Copies of this chain bind each other. A is one copy, B any other.
Amino acid sequence: MTISHRLLSAMDHVFPAPVAEAHCDGPCGVYDPASARIAGEAVLSMTKKILALDMSAEGSHNTYSRYVAIKEEQADDVKRELCILWHDYFKPEHLEAYPDLHTIFWNAAKQGSTCKTTVSVEAAETLMGMIENIHNMFWESKGRDIPWYTAS
């Protein structure tokens, strides 16, 4: 089956008078550090729960393995979500206001890795602080005042 040329030219009539976009800053323009924050909270929660495990209890090894896997996955999500902000939201014009932009994201990603290789509440809280810092920088750059909160 093919789409005839008639159909292709018919499309000109189907999508009439498109609204001009004054500016567009990415695929969908929906960026929100909340995604990284939620994953960061899960990293912190899992870290605390791993440390609190009674390893002599029945099923504790199942729980331990699961918690490590969830911590791993969520730390990965933090890194990926931060990358989206760094790659896709922030642009060269932001560098003047935020000259440490690259270092901030680099360090946060590396802290995500630290939360994987350790089981440390301090490391996870440091990561959360870095995400909060990025939250503030992000919303400031958009001229909006979105308060930081945690879900847990």
Interface residues of A (CB under 8 A from B): 1-3, 5, 7-8, 10-12, 14-15, 18-19, 21, 24, 26-32, 34-35, 38, 41-42, 45-46, 49-70, 72, 74, 79-80, 83, 86-88, 100, 102-104, 106-107, 109-110, 112-113, 116-119, 133, 136-137, 139-140, 144-149, 151-152
Number of copies: 6
Label chain A's interface by main secondary structure.
helix
Select one of B34, B50, B70, B79 contacting A1, CB under 8 A: B50
Given contacts A52-B21, A102-B102, contact A62 B119 (CB under 8 A): yes
**Neighbouring B residues of A74 by C-beta, 8 Å:** 28
Given contacts A1-B50, A66-B72, contact A30 B42 (CB under 8 A): yes
Given contacts A21-B152, A50-B62, contact A79 B69 (CB under 8 A): no
Extra 10 A-B pairs, beta carbons < 8 Å, given A7-B55, A14-B58, A28-B42? A2-B59, A3-B55, A3-B137, A12-B100, A15-B55, A18-B55, A21-B52, A28-B49, A62-B119, A87-B106
**How far is B61's CA from A78's CA once the two chains are assembled, in angstroms?**
23
The answer to whether B3 touches A136 (Cβ under 8 A) is yes
**How far is B32's CA from A35's CA once the two chains are assembled, in angstroms?**
10
Given contacts A3-B136, A28-B70, A62-B119, contact A147 B54 (CB under 8 A): no
**How far is B8's CA from A85's CA once the two chains are assembled, in angstroms?**
19
